[in-house]
Structure formats: structure tokens, C-alpha cells
């Protein structure tokens, strides 16, 4: 039996174990998927030995990079890893399948150019920014603290909201169990011209999306992205190629 897993902290919201357990049962695969809730990335050394591959989530998508023997060109460009393959020598090889999921999720909406507001600066946000720039979008990054190339939430005016077509939540705000939370935005400025994309998949509709829908905006949950990145991870773990 092969063993796979997910490292991150916290993991109470995660559906990864259920997803892969169902997949293994449905496809008669002799494998097991386990959640490893580790607050510090240094704990990886005591886990990786028994794994054939693992996913990486908050807050370790960037912190895991120094532990890798190789990193795929796309993951290196993004600066974040969410999928790791362990070879026969125990060496770790990093990839980014978040980008795969983001591309697939946004494809039906024919996004080409324009401006986007990206909430968050973590590993998932890095993948979003990479894909949106591929699509020719100008990306305005938002965080709790302003910095070089980053504005803070208090800088988001109604005028700014009106100037963008896409708003992506790549933060954990609104994720289970804190479902009564939403990013601080002037939601009254939203209309049917806006698209709101939340990477959170638990719950299926966050308060962020509900507030957008109430204003007539098109809303996209994170379920498709979650499934697509999971399947892309499975392909990597079972491929014979390093990249």
C-alpha cells in the first residue's frame, strides 16, 4: 500500500482525506491518504519517510521549498509548492497544481485582460497572480498591511471596485468554521459586471460570494479548483517523469 497525505495547519476545514479516500475506494486503488497537521515545517522530516507524495497547504506552500531536491519550472516561477513527489531515494520534488485548478476554473469565463483585485499574499495567492497575469490582467494585490506592490483593505474604494472586473479571495477569511466572516470590501459597489472567485471550498458558498451574488455579480466557489488540483497531484505522483 502506498501512502499519501496533506501537511498544513490547521486542517479542520480540509476535504482532501475524504476526497482521496473516496477516489481510492471507487477506483480500487491500494493507497491511503492522511492529514498531517503540523504547525512548523521542521516537522516534515519526521513525516516524509513513509510517503510517496503529499499535498501542501496553509501556511507551508512557500516554507517547504528549501526541503526540495528539485522544483518544477512553473512552481519556481510562482514561488509556491502545493504538491510534492517523493522518489525512491526519499528526495522531494515540488510542483504547483493550484495553477492547474485556477486555469480550469476560470476558463469558461473568457477572462482576457482587464484588472483584478487579489486578496492575499500567500502561496495560493501567488498561483492566482501567476495565472491572471498569463491572462493579461493587471493584478492589484491586497493584504492587511501595505507594502511594495501591495495595498491594504482601507485603500479599497468604491471607485477601485468599479475599475476591476474580477475579485479573487485567496485568504482563509470565511473558511469553515469561521463562516460568518468575509473580506472587508465596499460590496455595495459590486454589480453584474463583476466576477467573484473564492478559493475556499468549505463552505461551498462563503459570505464573500453571498454578498457578491446579492449585488448581481457572478460568483465562483473553490470546489472545482480543489478537485482539479487534487487530480493533477495524483497524476504527478504516478508519473515516471520528474517534471
The DSSP output letter for 4 is: E
Q: Which CB contacts under 8 angstroms, 24+ apart, belong to 213-217? A: 214/187, 215/187, 215/188, 215/190, 215/191, 216/190, 216/191, 216/192, 217/190, 217/191, 217/192, 217/193
CA angle 9, 75, 232 (to 5 degrees): 75
**Cα(190)–Cα(87) distance, integer angstroms:** 48
SS3 57: coil
Residue among 212, 132, 214, 207 nearest 171 (CA): 207
In 3D space, the residue among 186, 173, 183, 175 whose CA is nearest the CA of residue 215 turns out to be 186
Active site residues: 61
Fill in the DSSP letter of residue 63.
T
For residue 191, the tally of other CB atoms under 10 A from its CB is 12
Amino acid at each position: 500500500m502506498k501512502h499519501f497525505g496533506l501537511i498544513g495547519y490547521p486542517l479542520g476545514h480540509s476535504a482532501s482525506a475524504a476526497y482521496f479516500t473516496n477516489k481510492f475506494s471507487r477506483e480500487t486503488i491500494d493507497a491511503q491518504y492522511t492529514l498531517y497537521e503540523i504547525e512548523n515545517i521542521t516537522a516534515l522530516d519526521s513525516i516524509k519517510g513513509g510517503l510517496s507524495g503529499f499535498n501542501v497547504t496553509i501556511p507551508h506552500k512557500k516554507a517547504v521549498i528549501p526541503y526540495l531536491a528539485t522544483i518544477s519550472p512553473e512552481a519556481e516561477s510562482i514561488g509556491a509548492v502545493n504538491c510534492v513527489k517523493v522518489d525512491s531515494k526519499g528526495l522531494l520534488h515540488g510542483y504547483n497544481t493550484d495553477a492547474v485548478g485556477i486555469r480550469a476554473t476560470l476558463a469558461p469565463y473568457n477572462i482576457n485582460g482587464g484588472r483584478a483585485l487579489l486578496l492575499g499574499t500567500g502561496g495560493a495567492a501567488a498561483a492566482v497572480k501567476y495565472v491572471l497575469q498569463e491572462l493579461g490582467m493587471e493584478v492589484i494585490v491586497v493584504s492587511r498591511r501595505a507594502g511594495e506592490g501591495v495595498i491594504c483593505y482601507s485603500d479599497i474604494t468604491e471607485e477601485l471596485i468599479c475599475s476591476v472586473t474580477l475579485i479573487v479571495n485567496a485568504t482563509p477569511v470565511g473558511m469553515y468554521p469561521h463562516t460568518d466572516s468575509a473580506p472587508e470590501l465596499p460590496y455595495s459597489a459590486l454589480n453584474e459586471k463583476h466576477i467573484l472567485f473564492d478559493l475556499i471550498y468549505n463552505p461551498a458558498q462563503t459570505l464573500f460570494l453571498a454578498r457578491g451574488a446579492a449585488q448581481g455579480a457572478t460568483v465562483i466557489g473553490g470546489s472545482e479548483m480543489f478537485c482539479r488540483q487534487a487530480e493533477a497531484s495524483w497524476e504527478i505522483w504516478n508519473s515516471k517523469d520528474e517534471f
